[in-house]
Amino acid sequence: MMKKIFILIFFTLATAGLRAQEFITPSAYNPFIELAVKKQQNLKQAKAETIFLNLPFFDDFRKRSLFPDQNLWSDMNAYINDGFCINPPNHGCATFDALDSAGHIYTNASFTSFEADKLTSHFIRLDTIFSPVKRAIKTSDSLYISFYYQPQGRGNEPQKGDSLVLQFYNSDLSQWIQVWSEEGMSIDTFYTRYNTWFRQVMIKIDDSASYYNKNFRFRLVNFASLANNILPSWQSSMDHWNVDFVYLNLNRSLADTIYRNISFVSGTPSFLKRYQSMPYTQYSNDPTNEMRDTLYNTIVNLDTVAHGSRYEYWVLNASGAEVDYFYGGNYSIQPFYSGGYVDYQMFSAPRVQSILPIDPFGTRDSASFFVRHVIHGDEDGPSRLSDTLYYKQYFGNYYAYDDGIPEAGYGLTPSGAQLAYRFSVNTRDTLRGVKMLFNNTKNAANEQYFYLMVWDDDNGIPGKIISPDTLVKAVSANEFGFNEFYFAKGIPVVNAFHVGWLQTTSDNLNVGFDRSADNSLNTHFNTDGVWQQSIQNGSLMIRPVLGKAVLPQIPVIKKNLSLSVYPNPLNGNQLNIKLPDNASPIGMEVRIFDLAGRLMYSGPFETIISLPDLKQGLYFIRVAASGNNSEYSTRLSVIK
């Protein structure tokens, strides 16, 4: 369960309509956040007015939770994750965007800057020190607050009119006072300006009259704005900031920027070479070629001195029994400021010593293995000179290139566009269905009908269509995440196959897009009769289901489309076309494509048209007017 969704828009939408193109868009919903919120309803802001904290205040967001630590923070708007930051101080950061704590776009969202996420501390006692001797805090105690921040990261860049601000609460005035801000910019501009991926802010709190009391609070707030695109299916969330290492304490100075901290920076890798998950039977048929031979870690020492350390990882099965162990030995980790990230191979690139256990008899449908990575520093007892990462390696009945985290949305235009996603099998199998996660867009504009397609493989690109005529509807993600479409009859697959869609409208279906791994080589699209490899680096959240039959086996099919054609099937050349009763035929054009995307007929709309001699097969009919968003489509079967 992870993360709020937002990211770059790579192409501009022309005012006269959309070019035939593939798009990456931000997204306005996160089903995983919503499900987690439902499980924690009693937690949200339960003690916002009752918790008083003593100094020091510190959070580096390493805890395994989607939400801010409620022992420190009074709200749940910021999203805690380790996937959206680029080179953070340690794994885990707080992400700010235009989505609320339930993963929905804010109700006050607009195309101009609006107040979005907040990260608000509980009350902090700035009136008194309690240890070693109780006394009042004075300005001479040199009180500072600091934090690291980064715009955009792997998300969408906040625009110049957007901002991240720090505010202090003045209890006498009952007002929030802004004490720092940064305007929006791209991560590239940020790095060029400051020569760092994360910049640390140091602010001295010396206004004792306003803030040295028991009711002090601070908060970080981002001001965001929506994308203002032409079609509703592209309107979504924007403006991404990352925050890490929030620290408030006495006896600090502007030079107090060093931390005794050794930690992992990156998340944990899959043990599989190509997939995040795959069917257990397929893995068991060729485990050697499916397993990685090396894992990759990013480890950092944020102190000013070297620390002797040791690294190890364990692999456990579902019963907790150890199935593998790796010991990387001892190594002195140099400070990041002089040596950078750890490049000692036994720590940064540990080998995979053996394959994960297989099912040699093919009787098991699934298996789970749990991995724990640990880095230990040279200090005993409670210490920040150690860190632990966890990973679950799951084998079920589906393939997944994605890690379950939709950082963006993928879409094509126009109607008739096709998307194909390639998978390979180690042994002959049966394709039962396809799971797809569709991001929610404003007003559910992406909930359109499309044809679920399966092709065999032709030297790496889609070949012959091997799926039945299956019309389904994209339904925005809910707490169950993926839409599941199953074929009435299983489709035999061997060697490799492609799954995807043929669109009936120009709307962006906005399927989930994961930025953690690049599978553009396996992604092809067709908007003009020719299959092209995707130029978007990432993984689609499309997961083919194989193996035993899965219920339900009946896909969601829409029997009556708004556009009617007859006779259908067609055995001849004369075709009747009927638009919906409220549709105007003025300026409409009829275009007919074969299922390879080739244009077979084009002409002005008439209720009866004469077609060229079409071969037997299935065709896609689109009726639309240039320069507006009204279009109608259906499929035509030709028999001889």
Written as one string, the DSSP assignment of 565-586 is EESSSB-SSEEEEE--TT---T
Domain boundary among 249, 270, 296: 249
Weakest mean pLDDT among 76-80, 305-309, 375-379 = 375-379
> Same domain, yes or no, for 415 and 392?
no
Domain boundary among 481, 512, 546: 546
> Same domain, yes or no, for 380 and 418?
no
User: Residue 28's pLDDT is what?
Assistant: 43
pLDDT-derived band at 494 (thresholds 50, 70, 90) equals very high
- Does the pLDDT at position 369 exceed 90? yes
pLDDT-derived band at 4 (thresholds 50, 70, 90) equals very low
> Same domain, yes or no, for 128 and 78?
yes
Q: How far apart are CA 190 and CA 182, in angstroms?
A: 11
Read off the CATH number of the domain in which 621 is found: 2.60.40.1220
User: Residue 591's pLDDT is what?
Assistant: 86
Better-scored residue on pLDDT, 499 or 584: 499
> Same domain, yes or no, for 131 and 244?
yes
Q: How far apart are CA 91 and CA 86, in angstroms?
A: 10
Percentage above 70 pLDDT, the chain: 85
Does 14 fall in a domain?
no
- Does the pLDDT at position 49 exceed 70? no
- Does the pLDDT at position 412 exceed 80? yes
Q: What is the dihedral sign for C-alpha 540, 545, 546, 547?
A: positive
Q: Which tens digits make up the pLDDT trace of 88-113?
A: 998 889 999 887 777 677 888 888 88
pLDDT-derived band at 229 (thresholds 50, 70, 90) equals low
* Cβ-proximal residues to 508 (8 Å cutoff; 6+ apart), any chain: 23, 25, 231, 233, 234, 409, 411, 412, 413, 441, 446
- The two structure tokens encoding residue 375: 């880095």
- Does the pLDDT at position 562 exceed 70? no
User: Residue 244's pLDDT is what?
Assistant: 96
Q: How far apart are CA 480 and CA 271, in angstroms?
A: 26
Mean pLDDT, rounded, for 142-160: 92
Read off the CATH number of the domain in which 49 is found: 2.60.120.260
Does 13 fall in a domain?
no
User: Residue 626's pLDDT is what?
Assistant: 59
Does 263 fall in a domain?
no
φ, ψ of residue 141 in degrees (nearest 5): -75, -5
> Same domain, yes or no, for 516 and 609?
no
> Same domain, yes or no, for 375 and 422?
no
> Same domain, yes or no, for 72 and 178?
yes
Mean pLDDT, rounded, for 315-332: 95
User: Residue 505's pLDDT is what?
Assistant: 83
Average of per-residue pLDDT values in the chain: 85
Domain boundary among 546, 575, 600: 546
Which residue in 352, 521, 355 sits closest to 424, CA to CA? 521
Q: In what order do the strands lie in the sheet with 322-333?
A: 278-279, 386-396, 367-376, 307-317, 322-333
Q: How far apart are CA 444 and CA 415, in angstroms?
A: 18
User: Residue 6's pLDDT is what?
Assistant: 30
User: Residue 459's pLDDT is what?
Assistant: 96
Question: What are residue 96's DSSP bridge partners?
Answer: 241
Mean pLDDT, rounded, for 407-424: 91
Percentage above 90 pLDDT, the chain: 56
User: Residue 64's pLDDT is what?
Assistant: 67
- Does the pLDDT at position 469 exceed 70? yes
Does 3 fall in a domain?
no
Residue 58: give the domain boundaries: 21-249
Does 260 fall in a domain?
no
> Same domain, yes or no, for 378 and 419?
no
> Same domain, yes or no, for 50 and 135?
yes
Read off the CATH number of the domain in which 346 is found: 2.60.40
Q: Per the omega criterion (within 30 degrees of 0), is the bond before 567 cis?
A: yes
Mean pLDDT is highest, among 162-166, 300-304, 482-486, 636-640, for 162-166
Weakest mean pLDDT among 170-174, 206-210, 448-452, 531-535 = 448-452
pLDDT-derived band at 480 (thresholds 50, 70, 90) equals very low
User: Residue 20's pLDDT is what?
Assistant: 61
Q: Which residue has the tokens 């901002």?
A: 163
> Same domain, yes or no, for 119 and 165?
yes
Q: With residue 169 as reference, give the H or E element that holds it.
A: strand 163-170
Q: Per the omega criterion (within 30 degrees of 0), is the bond before 56 cis?
A: yes
Better-scored residue on pLDDT, 168 or 360: 168
Number of domains the chain contains: 4
> Same domain, yes or no, for 369 and 458?
no
Amino acid symbol at 247:
Y
Does 521 fall in a domain?
yes
Q: With residue 34 as reference, give the H or E element that holds it.
A: helix 31-39
Does 78 fall in a domain?
yes
> Same domain, yes or no, for 357 and 309?
yes
User: Residue 392's pLDDT is what?
Assistant: 94
Q: Which tens digits make up the pLDDT trace of 420-454?
A: 999 999 999 999 999 999 886 666 667 888 999 99
Written as one string, the DSSP assignment of 183-250 is E---HHHHHHHHSSSSEEEEEE---HHHH-STTB-EEEEEEE-----SSGGG------EEEEEEEEES
pLDDT-derived band at 552 (thresholds 50, 70, 90) equals low
- The two structure tokens encoding residue 523: 């992604």
Mean pLDDT, rounded, for 249-265: 92
Does 330 fall in a domain?
yes
